[in-house]
């Protein structure tokens, strides 16, 4: 790829000089892809620490969870990419296993990263006896921040674009065989989708019905968008003729939806059972109240005097008459 050729958006009248390397110090390249992922991670962490009190999680516990989850997330993302690497000539990572460690050459799968991070977070939460749902809710707000920014790394690498199109939003200058052809800017679609999802979930998180709901809503939101965006891409990881990420997106969307419906039905049933339940002490208190009301009614009927007093006066009067 000739990086001296600018990336253009003809329908928008934009022409941008794009290079994958941000810095080159003594022959050591620092890629924009890594920088943007790092910035996205830092922003997600900043947001998580700023709002962890909303989920009743201590900052120290959150620090431990993030460190361990970050390491496992990178491992998971790399393994996902390695396992499902698309190549008609065999998997080069299986042929040369040491190349799996060459992360600077690129190759991370977001779904593998999410799974790896969540499994690690689950284990740490169980060890520390912290609400797994609450921690996952924070993750559900942090992930879209990191993803929205990290996808621009694909832009600088001129990758993860979709099929050819003549739409006004088309992106050209990414295909080395014909730099004038416009393609679907899938990186842009996913970045915008994640930003919108984050704004919605941020607004909703204080109104969540149960711990874990925000995370499940994130899974639904991301899965729904990713399913259609992945269908536009030409570099998808494949199993036969099936796009792996598209399959995962569909399955996770359905599972998350079912879990939300199940949990809400369960909460509604618990509320109904609580409303129908009358404790014994409440029945006793009600009986005492009924007796009090009867006594007050009796006083009113006897011109403001207790019934026993009136009976005694009648008895004295009869004795005088006799």
Higher pLDDT, residue 201 or 286: 201
Residue 85 has pLDDT above 90, yes or no: no
Distance between CA atoms of 229 and 79, rounded to whole angstroms? 22
Q: How confident is the model at residue 133 (pLDDT cuts 50, 70, 90)?
A: very high
| CA dihedral sign, ordered 172, 178, 181, 186 | negative
Alpha carbons within 13 angstroms on the beta-carbon side of residue 281 total 0
Distance between CA atoms of 138 and 65, rounded to whole angstroms? 11
Q: Return the axis-axis angle of helices 244-276 and 110-128, rounded to nearest 10°.
A: 40
pLDDT of residue 202: 96
Phi-psi label, residue 238: left if phi above 0, alpha if psi -120 to 50, beta otherwise: beta
Residue 83 has pLDDT above 90, yes or no: no
Q: Are the CB atoms for 235 and 85 separated by under 8 Å?
A: no
Residue 2, judged by CB atoms within 10 A of its CB (0-12, 13-18, 19+), counts as: exposed
Range scoring the smallest mean pLDDT among 55-59, 163-167, 253-257, 286-290: 286-290
Stretch 208-218: mean pLDDT, rounded? 94
> Which two structure tokens, joined as six digits, stand for 300?
């009113």
Q: How confident is the model at residue 309 (pLDDT cuts 50, 70, 90)?
A: low
Residue 159, judged by CB atoms within 10 A of its CB (0-12, 13-18, 19+), counts as: middle
Higher pLDDT, residue 292 or 202: 202
pLDDT of residue 271: 82
Q: Reduce the secondary structure of the chain to three states and give it as a string.
A: CCCCCCEEEHHHCEEECCCCEEEEECCEEEEHHHHHHHHHHHHHHHHHHHHHHHHCCCHHHHHHHHHHHHHHHHHHHHHHHHHCCCCCCCCHHHHCHHHHHCHHHCCCCHHHHHHHHHHHHHHHHHHHCCCHHHHHHHHHHHHHHHHHHHCHHHHHHCCCCECECCCCCCEECCCCCCCCCCECCHHHHHHHHHHHHHHHHHHHHHHCCCCCHHHHHHHHHHHHHHHHHHCCECCCCEECCEEHHHHHHHHHHHHHHHHHHHHHHHHHHHHHHHHHCCCHHHHHHHHHHHHHHHHHHHHHHCCCCCHHHHHHHHHHHHHHHC
- 36-75 pLDDT, tens digit each: 989 999 999 999 999 999 999 999 999 999 999 989 998 9
| CA dihedral sign, ordered 146, 149, 153, 159 | positive
Residue written as token pair 């491992």: 75
pLDDT of residue 4: 80
**Average pLDDT of the chain?**
85
Residue 24's beta-bridge partner residues? 29
Nearest-5° Cα angle at 42, 41 to 47: 100
Distance between CA atoms of 161 and 155, rounded to whole angstroms? 8
Q: How confident is the model at residue 132 (pLDDT cuts 50, 70, 90)?
A: very high
Q: Are the CB atoms for 79 and 112 separated by under 8 Å?
A: yes
Distance between CA atoms of 60 and 275, rounded to whole angstroms? 39
């Amino acid at each position: 790829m000739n990086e001296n050729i600018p990336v253009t958006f003809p329908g928008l009248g934009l022409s941008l000089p794009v290079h994958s390397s941000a810095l080159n110090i003594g022959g050591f390249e620092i890629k924009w892809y890594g920088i943007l992922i790092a910035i996205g991670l830092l922003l997600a962490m900043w947001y998580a620490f700023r709002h962890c009190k909303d989920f009743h999680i201590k900052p120290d516990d959150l620090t431990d969870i993030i460190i361990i989850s970050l390491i496992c997330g990178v491992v998971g993302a790399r393994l996902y990419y390695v396992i499902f690497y698309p190549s008609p000539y065999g998997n080069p990572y299986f042929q040369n296993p040491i190349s799996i460690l060459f992360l600077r050459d690129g190759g991370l799968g977001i779904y593998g990263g999410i799974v790896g991070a969540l499994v690690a977070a689950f284990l740490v939460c169980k060890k520390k006896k912290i609400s797994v749902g609450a921690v996952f809710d924070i993750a559900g707000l942090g992930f879209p921040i990191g993803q929205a920014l990290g996808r621009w790394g694909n832009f600088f690498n001129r990758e993860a674009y979709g099929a050819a199109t003549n739409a006004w939003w088309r992106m050209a200058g990414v295909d080395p065989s014909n730099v004038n052809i416009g393609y679907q800017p899938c990186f842009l679609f996913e970045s915008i989708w994640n930003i919108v999802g984050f704004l919605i979930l941020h607004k909703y998180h204080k109104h969540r019905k149960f711990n874990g709901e925000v995370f499940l809503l994130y899974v639904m939101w991301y899965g729904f968008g990713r399913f259609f965006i992945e269908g536009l891409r030409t570099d998808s990881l494949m199993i036969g003729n099936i796009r792996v990420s598209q399959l995962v997106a569909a399955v996770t969307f359905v599972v998350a939806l079912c879990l939300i419906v199940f949990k809400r039905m369960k909460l509604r049933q618990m509320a109904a059972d609580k409303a129908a339940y009358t404790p014994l002490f409440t029945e006793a208190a009600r009986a005492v109240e009924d007796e009090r009301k009867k006594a007050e009614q009796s006083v009113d009927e006897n011109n403001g005097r207790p019934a026993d007093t009136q009976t005694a006066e009648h008895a004295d009067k009869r004795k005088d008459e006799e």
